[in-house]
Amino acid sequence: MTNTPYPMTTKRILVVDDEQYIQEVAKICLETVAGWEVRTASSGKEGITQAEAYQPDVILLDVMMPDMDGITTFERLQANPATKDIPVILLTAKIQAADRRRYAQIGMITAIAKPFNPLELAGQVATALDWNWEY
């Protein structure tokens, strides 16, 4: 348990994806289905800045983004003392067994396939992080 200034039931989620549609769907679903507080970022650089300031409980991170891809963004988050302890879940269309192994080796919690089922997203996140939450 961490000392947090907000109730443990209200999780703070950061969605980093260059696709506006994905950001909106994830935000609406996580807020509506789970009641979580969600912020979005459109690039790896913006995601890192938001993660430092917002200190989310988890980051949902797209792999394929222009300028800085998800893996590079993750590595920079890990190298930053302010963000290295924030769990990261990848959002990716590329989710073969070999990719999952590689993601696990570098410290990713899990990967969620895109396109994801919006109504199942909160449950997938909660399960991956062992959060006690039910819809």
Whether the predicted pLDDT of 97 surpasses 80: no
Amino acid identity for residue 43 in this structure? S
66-77: pLDDT as tens digits = 999 999 999 999
Q: Which of 25, 21, 102, 111 is nearest to 61 (CA)?
A: 111
Query: Which pTM value belongs to this model?
Result: 0.88
Whether the predicted pLDDT of 55 surpasses 80: yes
Average of per-residue pLDDT across 101-125: 88
Q: How many CB atoms lie within 10 A of CB 93?
A: 10
What domains does the chain contain, in order, with CATH numbers?
12-128 (3.40.50.2300)
Whether the predicted pLDDT of 93 surpasses 90: no
Whether the predicted pLDDT of 115 surpasses 60: yes
DSSP string, 56-97: -SEEEEES--SSS-HHHHHHHHHH-TTTTTS-EEEEES---H
More confident residue, 134 or 19: 19
More confident residue, 132 or 26: 26
